[in-house]
Amino acid sequence: MEHYDLVIIGAGPSGYAAAMRAVDLKKKTLLIEKSTLGGAGVKNGALSSKTLWELSRDMLAFRKNLERYHLEPPKAVWHEIQTEVRKAVHERISLYQSHLNELEANPKYSNYIHFVEGEACIESDHIVSISTLTEDLLVETDYIIIATGSRPRHLPNIPIDEKYILTSDGIENMDDFPESMVIVGAGVIGCEYATIFSGFGQTKVFLIDKGDTILPFEDPDVVAVIEKNLESHGVHIHRNSSLSEIETKDGKVIYKLDFADGEQKTFTVDKALVSVGRVPNYENIWKDAVPIKMGKRGVEDHETHTSVNNIYAVGDITADINLVNVGELEGRYAVEKIFGEPKKKLVYENISTIMFLNPEVAGVGYNEKSAQEKELNYRVVTTDYSTIARATAKRNTQGFIKLLVTDDDEMKILGMRVVGEQASAAIQAVALLISMNKGIEELAECVHPHPSITEGIQESVRALLGKSILKSGLLKGKVSCYCYDCQKMEKVSMY
Ligand SMILES: Cc1cc2nc3c(=O)[nH]c(=O)nc-3n(C[C@H](O)[C@H](O)[C@H](O)COP(=O)(O)OP(=O)(O)OC[C@H]3O[C@@H](n4cnc5c(N)ncnc54)[C@H](O)[C@@H]3O)c2cc1C
Ligand SMILES: NC(=O)c1ccc[n+]([C@@H]2O[C@H](COP(=O)([O-])OP(=O)(O)OC[C@H]3O[C@@H](n4cnc5c(N)ncnc54)[C@H](O)[C@@H]3O)[C@@H](O)[C@H]2O)c1
């Protein structure tokens, strides 16, 4: 039986990153994938949906520009869009595959990496079975990393068929733009697809969430901007309602909503997208004799270490945040932890995210909602995009920067949200400061290029320090600084 230092099950972002770190450390590694290299990081997930988002955003901008010159905009063609998305997915998978081929062929690396296409199962602490198209194998290993990811959550009362009632696994296979679509679940995936399909301009989108707001984990001021834009592009948000029935009949989707005032209404659409969260892929990954503990939301781990001494778990299979960058961080960390001491602790406070909406929403660390849930006192500055020269030049001043810091002299950064053009580019400096556990002085003194969105972050910091160019509280809705007292649960103006 072939013996390995490390076997990694799943070659999504988490497993692939873990394998490459093990190669760095010269460990004999076996990487196993049963389906698509890159996992949901590439297909039916992050890359494919972001390709759709970019194409939709271009189309929206193109339509707006033509309308400015009173020209009739052309219609987007679904098959062309779909082909472009498939090209992007193919390019990425080919990149990963060619890289693996090169590693396996190169004498410098070939002793350390071996890739097998097949379905793996942990038979016992040190034995993994692999079922490939041509044979069944058993291998022996010192350590195992489980990186088997997640899949869309199904609900018992929603008959998903991936033809009419779809999840993110089926939506890219549609034959054409539907004329109408209901999205069940207005979290990140639901709102991103509502943005994408309303942006293409050929689908009437309806949005339902079981909560009373879209993006229920976000602050109300962020939600307000996103809702306003979705509605201005024709998205209908079903407020104060809950889905009581949904079925497919004669090629249409019929759904019933119960409204808070007791009314019940029935709607008919072409397609439904169900995006109510994701569940971990843990079934048939290990035999009953292997005592890996599962929690409600995934494998229970302590900094990637499972309840079994030589088995680790990373990425979406664990109970924390489901993101590509988190999976890669955990994958690399687990390998360093197995084969030595990682230089840094595994921290999640500086994880930055982007929600691909209209406009982009970039975030790192706490927002006001999560800070208040944690009962933290904080100071918060909000700077409107209309104060930022670059946004004025872009002719789009919709959006704001919101920065939270500790309510003390140090003013350590707790978190930030940027809603607006180029939000994603603006967030990195703050993510770095959070990871370095730094206060805000550094940002205030940096010289930023002009005109840039990051100047808005600098002005926000200066406003907290009482030395901004535009003074807090004077121009209504432009720059404002508040202190939040968690005991009194109230906000008081700082200036
Ligand atoms: C629509 C959508 C959009 C998203 N957008 C973003 C985004 O913009 N930014 C972001 O950061 N994140 C995004 N995500 C989340 C991101 O895709 C996931 O967090 C990430 O892919 C998780 O990586 P992973 O390696 O843990 O799991 P996965 O990507 O799920 O990969 C797991 C792999 O394991 C394989 N596998 C499972 N069981 C076995 C077995 N028994 N044997 C062998 N192989 C097995 C699977 O085939 C799969 O390839 C998005 C997700 C979705 C669904
Ligand atoms: N840009 C990004 O970084 C990005 C993009 C897409 C997905 N993701 C990752 O994928 C994960 C999964 O995304 P998601 O949108 O499926 O999950 P989510 O947790 O973001 O949202 C699920 C939504 O469904 C609602 N819901 C739950 N049960 C419901 C029901 N019975 N009826 C109606 N609504 C219901 C919830 O209230 C919530 O708003 C995210 O947590 C995120 O980590 C990230």
> Per-residue DSSP letters for 86-126?
HHHHHHHHHHHHHHHHHHHH-TTTTTTEEEEESEEEEEETT
Measured from the CB, is residue 444 less than 6 Å from ligand 1?
Answer: no
Gyration radius from the chain CA atoms: 25
Handedness of CA 187, 190, 192, 195 (dihedral sign): negative
Report which bound ligand comes closest to the CA of 9.
1
In a shared domain, residues 374 and 287:
no
Average pLDDT of the residues in 267-293:
97
Q: What is the CATH number of the domain that holds 464?
A: 3.30.390.30
Q: Which residue has the tokens 């939270």?
A: 404
461: nearest Cα among 408, 417, 385, 404 = 404
Q: Answer yes or no: are the C-beta atoms of 256 and 244 closer than 8 Å.
A: yes
Residue 354 identity (one-letter amino acid): I
In a shared domain, residues 33 and 124:
yes
Summarised one tens digit per residue, pLDDT across range 399-440 is 999 999 999 999 999 999 999 999 998 888 888 888 887 778
* 244, part of any domain: yes
Of 276, 301, 329, the residue at which a domain comes to its end is 276
* 450 is annotated as an active-site residue: yes
* 29, part of any domain: yes
Q: What is the pLDDT of residue 433?
A: 81
Catalytic residue from among 70, 79, 302, 450? 450
Residue 88's pLDDT band (cuts 50, 70, 90): very high
382 class by beta-carbon count within 10 Å (0-12 exposed, 13-18 middle, 19+ buried): buried
* 458, part of any domain: yes
Average pLDDT of the chain to the nearest whole number: 95
ipTM above 0.85, yes or no: yes
**Rounded percentage of the chain residues whose pLDDT exceeds 70:** 100
- Identify the DSSP state of 314: -
Q: Answer yes or no: are the C-beta atoms of 157 and 219 closer than 8 Å.
A: no
Residue nearest to atom 52 of ligand 1 (CA): 45
Residue 344's pLDDT band (cuts 50, 70, 90): confident
* 77, part of any domain: no
Q: What is the CATH number of the domain that holds 311?
A: 3.50.50.60
In a shared domain, residues 170 and 256:
yes
In a shared domain, residues 324 and 247:
no
Q: What is the pLDDT of residue 2?
A: 97
For residue 83, give the H/E element and its range.
helix 78-105
In a shared domain, residues 204 and 325:
no
Measured from the CB, is residue 325 less than 6 Å from ligand 1?
Answer: yes
**Partners of 105 in beta bridges:** none
Q: Answer yes or no: are the C-beta atoms of 110 and 23 closer than 8 Å.
A: no
Pocket test for ligand 1, best of 129, 273, 281 (most atoms within 8 A of CB): 281
Structural domain boundaries enclosing 460: 359-493
In a shared domain, residues 316 and 424:
no
Give the separation between CA 169 and CA 149, rounded to whole angstroms.
14
* 139, part of any domain: yes
Q: Which residue has the tokens 């090209």?
A: 87
In a shared domain, residues 377 and 303:
no
User: What's the structural domain count of the chain?
Assistant: 3
In a shared domain, residues 285 and 264:
no
Give the separation between CA 346 and CA 337, rounded to whole angstroms.
10
Spell out a b/e string for 276-297, using b for 16 or more CB atoms within 10 Å of the CB, else e: bebebbbeebbeeebebeeeee
Pocket test for ligand 1, best of 44, 119, 148 (most atoms within 8 A of CB): 148
Q: What is the pLDDT of residue 353?
A: 95
